Structure 1
Amino acid sequence: MTDQTPPPGGTSAVAFDLKFWRTRAAECRLTDEDLTALTGIPTADWDSHLTPHTLPAAALFVLARALNTSAECLLRQPAPNRRPAPRAADHATVLHAALLEADRIHPDELASALEWTPHRLKRAATALATHLEQPSSPHRLVHTDTTIHLTCVPDLLAPKQRQNLHNCGHTAASLAPGEAAALTRLLHHTARGLTPDLPAEQIPRLANRRLLALSGEQPAAHPDVLFALGLAARPLTDAETAADGCASVPADSSPPRPR
């Protein structure tokens, strides 16, 4: 036990824990006469007369030593103000959180994942898009019939900064196991001149994730994938994707077939 000053602040914010006092006194075999002598106030009057205002700090430390405890333990601190329980997030906020997790995704797939109706998703997207239009927000919402995702406000990052992020591999979300398997199977079939064998339900997701291009008679690997494998001169920019309506594979960038 140390003679430390009681916690700072107005004494009106604290009170004595008299129940603890009496418990400690019984354990230390202190009588009512002993406690009256230590505090200067009869124990019968403690509830009405014993307060941090009426007991000098020196007497409090003496009493604490007698009770074999600290002065702080003799004080009953007010219960901290509890924060109000958080309200249920509105749909726009939930949508924002989902898009931070999901990256590019088909609206129908996102509505299904959130267990929403398409109408609820559309209303949430409208509200979120309006909210993100604030000058302080770095995000903008892209919502079409085939994809919904967040994008960055143009020109916030310098070209060199964007390139640095691209070079260190931090510009795209990690592949899910199913995506990696589907993409590997597509590249394998393409390299051998076989017909691509992709489950129909995976095609919209792979296209939204810029792993698959839908131009031509058969699905093909997205130019970004070919660029990563050294089979294309450069990746496809967002501006080119928007201008084309969908990703298209350059004619000269298809994987070479084995001889």
Structure 2
Amino acid sequence: MNRSVPQMAADLFEKLSWPDTTEEEWRRTDLSRLLPKGMLDKTADLPILGTGDINERPAPLLPENYAARVITERGIPVAMALSEEAVKKGLSIQWVSQDSSPEDFPTDLERSANAELNTETDRITAWHWRSFPGALHISLSESVRLKEPVIIEEKLIAGDEQSPLFSAPHLHIALPGSGELNLLWCFYGAPEVQESVIPVVNAGLTASIGENSLLNIALNQNLGNGVVFFLHDHLLLERDSRLEFTEAHFGGRLVKTRGRVILSGKGSEARINGLYLAEEDS
């Protein structure tokens, strides 16, 4: 990979402070009050996980009428299956590790990363791009409308029950002109850890949606009431394209999502909906 992205993110991370209520996007999210002192610093000091190789992973059972299924653990793929029909139609799912060579790192993914890091970013976003192990790059061929959904299942697996737990999964979707993709991104599997350990997920979603295309995303997060869940997204829509994005969060110590949807062409449209459920004492 071109080291400019993680290096740029690392440089920004060192220069920035954790977001506070003086920033517009964080004015209702007081991290200093909601999280234990020093918790984010301790988690951010964790080493980057191994980047993995999706080609060496087994194929999971593919549910009927699904185009593909990918299982990831702490952001790293452990299993993947694509239907033959979806592959023939032009569906491609590629694992791009953070240490990929420049020629293997997709230009559109690097462009999205630079777009985020070169605008008014925050330390949470910089942290993601600094520490993400890699990205799942999902693309379709031109003029392919794939009705069958793609499901991505992210599991937060614990190691040492006393160690901080961190995951930085990233999805990038490249949808060319006159395409359609339906994606389900699931987070589940609350890890068994000591009460003093606070799991943190810092997820990223980037997409480029071509002319006259439809991208339908449903995100379901059910990691338990102890997790801190951050999500940032950067979604670019071309002329006459449409985005349907629904988030559903079931519990969480802290859930914070933010992002930018760029309507760069006439007739483009985005609909974003969120559902947040928590137990009475959460």
TM-score (norm 1): 0.25
Higher relative contact order (CA 8 A, sep 6+): 2
Larger radius of gyration: 1
TM-score (norm 2): 0.23
